[in-house]
Structure 1
């Protein structure tokens, strides 16, 4: 039995992807750009084993056996195996050809809520493709294959700041992810995830996109007239580490994405009352200082992703606690990077004054930009045991 375990990161789009021009190949109607989050706080771990003893391909996700026949998963398996056969055939490696004939067992776990608008499919498919590539010895460009599992997964193949170039070819060969800057480029940048709900969202991203493409005139305008200019502006703001420009663009693009969801018929509501309170809180905080010190972004779910700089984290977390008093249920309200208590000046308190919403934010994850997928060297962290089945701890 040959076994490989890897981890892969979540990414959060600051210029959003919403809508496909080709459903089968997952080709987007516009380019997008994201920040890869650090795996110390959010990651998917995947173990893949191949053995001649296995009688069928099998998969387990977060402790439960899942349907490995899912078309997108099969597409990733098929493409990685095809590349492996081609490259191994060229190299004349008979030993590797034998492994290609074996069935595989796949076990994957997320250390964050799945299907709650926190890009779990992006991390999951990026990790699957990367781990399969390591198992079969496939090297080189993998974002095209990850894209066929989940569109945004292609961006999780790289660390730091990543653009997904929509491409123009019908076969999708030029619809790839590219790193704009590495995770070390902007060391002061911090990301706070305010988890308002860990529940599975009511309208999945795939179904939501299909309806938006069919019914939203705003979506077409956005893709053709708005996003190309925003992509150029966003890349420049990242390269210059200009948080004012970065923050404003991030919020405007999030707002427009959710406006297209409302412009969809019937409308799609991913934001809830807590999301709206967070938006109001951020704008009041920035207005107090007369500059953009924090910025929000919401994917297809109610959880807020807050971008800010390191020196603002302590104070802003105190503001969050005032507006959304933590419920004492035994779970820590703050997870991830350390946060220190900070005094709140009376003028700031008056500026952000709100009706407290206890428990509206269940917990907050504090993180920073991080690297792309990595193989795990510690065999004790494998999710599959020597029998090729999930370990009890997984």
Structure 2
């Protein structure tokens, strides 16, 4: 029987603290500004992808969460073409000693352990996992930094998911995008105390997809031009410095300010783009109350292109942050009793009950996680020895 060659990796979600929004080149996914993100732990949020190649396959195939996906899109075709070219170059170097996998069709199976297309950076983890899995299948020598240039062409923020810890996506200046890549600011071991609480407002698909939203903002928002030309370059250096110095107060202020400004540019677009809702705004107010009661900045909110709140905090302030959340979000399938039994409900008269009530009625789920590692090899293949999806016979 013909051999099935395969490799499996897991890849993480990353949540930007300095937002990427807007493209200077749509085809190459080249951003109008540099960005910074925190890679979250794969114990809680991850994409698992198995890439396989075989003479048995008759076409390229991609399966996501059990459903067959269209692979004819330019983004996916670009990744397949570029990855095959890299493999072909290796085969040419080692004439006759490598199986000609570049000529075989690919079957790729991917699964998320979190809602897809709901503002939880599923495309970032998905494309990072795809690129890394095929790179492992092809045994490519390219570094993660080099692979991030490819992943960027699938989904811009995917380039940041090629690294763990704290990551910058340098926008670059070359027209061909060869210098628009992700680099690691610091590994997760540098500041492991960083934690995140994700308040899932809705697991439904977004009304305005990120790509079309970006194009509308670039075209119509005057605030956006000020942001990319003046604000972000300065904020980029300040945020890198706050991470390297483990200065949470500065990190928090910059993170919240950048989230606010990003959504302001969405509102400044025409027609306006609404990613936040009443529940999102209640989360902002609750974080403000938490910091007020604490007497210092112990929590920072940020929102990507969706209503879900991500609240960053340090492990030593867990009670101050999760106590009010636990009081506001009782009975949600979120609290890991074995690891959070020490968190006591904390709600004082200083907390505005309007925000608490809105959150209680509007949050579907809470995910408690923290900073984590980049892509990892896995032995849990999603494709069996015959090339079939597990549990399927095609």
Same fold per superposition (TM over 0.5): yes
From the superposition, tell whether residues 393 and 222 of structure 1 become closer, same or farther in structure 2 (CA, over 3 Å): farther
From the superposition, tell whether residues 336 and 178 of structure 1 become closer, same or farther in structure 2 (CA, over 3 Å): farther
| Correspondence for 1:360 | 362
- Counterparts in 2 of 1:233-272, with a 5 A limit? 233-272=238-277
**Structure 1 CA distance for aligned equivalents of residues 337 and 169 of structure 2:** 28
| Correspondence for 2:6 | 3
| Correspondence for 2:231 | 226
Q: SS state of the match for residue 240, structure 2?
A: helix
**Structure 1 CA distance for aligned equivalents of residues 339 and 207 of structure 2:** 33
Question: Deviations for 1:132-164, whole angstroms, at most 9, x for unmatched residues?
Answer: 001111122200000000000000001100000
* Contact 1:143 1:153 (C-alpha < 8 Å) held by counterparts: yes
Out of 102, 126, 129, the position equivalent to 1:127 is 129
Matched, 1:38 2:41: yes
* Contact 1:197 1:362 (C-alpha < 8 Å) held by counterparts: yes
**Structure 1 CA distance for aligned equivalents of residues 345 and 154 of structure 2:** 46
**Structure 2 CA distance for aligned equivalents of residues 311 and 246 of structure 1:** 16
Deviation at 1:265, TM superposition (A): 0.4
Equivalent pairs, count: 384
| Correspondence for 2:16 | 13
**Structure 1 CA distance for aligned equivalents of residues 303 and 337 of structure 2:** 20
Question: Deviations for 1:38-88, whole angstroms, at most 9, x for unmatched residues?
Answer: 111100000111110111111110111111112111111111111111233
Q: SS state of the match for residue 35, structure 1?
A: strand
**Structure 1 CA distance for aligned equivalents of residues 336 and 180 of structure 2:** 35
| Correspondence for 1:102 | 104
From the superposition, tell whether residues 60 and 275 of structure 1 become closer, same or farther in structure 2 (CA, over 3 Å): same
Matched, 1:388 2:387: yes
* Contact 1:318 1:341 (C-alpha < 8 Å) held by counterparts: no
From the superposition, tell whether residues 169 and 277 of structure 1 become closer, same or farther in structure 2 (CA, over 3 Å): same
From the superposition, tell whether residues 384 and 244 of structure 1 become closer, same or farther in structure 2 (CA, over 3 Å): same
**Structure 2 CA distance for aligned equivalents of residues 224 and 325 of structure 1:** 44
- Structure 1: segments with no counterpart, 5+ residues: none
Out of 183, 188, 194, the position equivalent to 1:189 is 194
Matched, 1:85 2:84: no
**Structure 2 CA distance for aligned equivalents of residues 172 and 96 of structure 1:** 30
* Contact 2:60 2:107 (C-alpha < 8 Å) held by counterparts: yes
Q: SS state of the match for residue 392, structure 1?
A: coil
Question: Deviations for 1:197-251, whole angstroms, at most 9, x for unmatched residues?
Answer: 1111110000100101110111111001000000000000001101100001000
| Correspondence for 2:65 | 62
RMSD: 1.7
Relative to the length of structure 1, the TM-score reads 0.94
Question: Deviations for 1:365-387, whole angstroms, at most 9, x for unmatched residues?
Answer: 111111111111x2xx2111222
**Structure 2 CA distance for aligned equivalents of residues 344 and 350 of structure 1:** 13
From the superposition, tell whether residues 393 and 318 of structure 1 become closer, same or farther in structure 2 (CA, over 3 Å): farther
* Contact 2:195 2:369 (C-alpha < 8 Å) held by counterparts: yes
**Structure 1 CA distance for aligned equivalents of residues 375 and 244 of structure 2:** 23
**Structure 2 CA distance for aligned equivalents of residues 15 and 342 of structure 1:** 30
| Correspondence for 1:333 | 334
| Correspondence for 1:49 | 52
* Contact 2:109 2:389 (C-alpha < 8 Å) held by counterparts: yes
**Structure 2 CA distance for aligned equivalents of residues 336 and 251 of structure 1:** 30
From the superposition, tell whether residues 217 and 176 of structure 1 become closer, same or farther in structure 2 (CA, over 3 Å): same
Question: Deviations for 1:111-145, whole angstroms, at most 9, x for unmatched residues?
Answer: 01100001000000000000000111112220000
| Correspondence for 2:292 | 287
* Contact 2:313 2:321 (C-alpha < 8 Å) held by counterparts: no
**Structure 1 CA distance for aligned equivalents of residues 224 and 97 of structure 2:** 50
Relative to the length of structure 2, the TM-score reads 0.94
Deviation at 1:351, TM superposition (A): 1.2
| Correspondence for 1:309 | 314
Deviation at 1:335, TM superposition (A): 5.5
**Structure 1 CA distance for aligned equivalents of residues 296 and 15 of structure 2:** 23
- Structure 2: segments with no counterpart, 5+ residues: none
Q: SS state of the match for residue 287, structure 1?
A: helix
**Structure 2 CA distance for aligned equivalents of residues 76 and 308 of structure 1:** 36
From the superposition, tell whether residues 374 and 102 of structure 1 become closer, same or farther in structure 2 (CA, over 3 Å): same
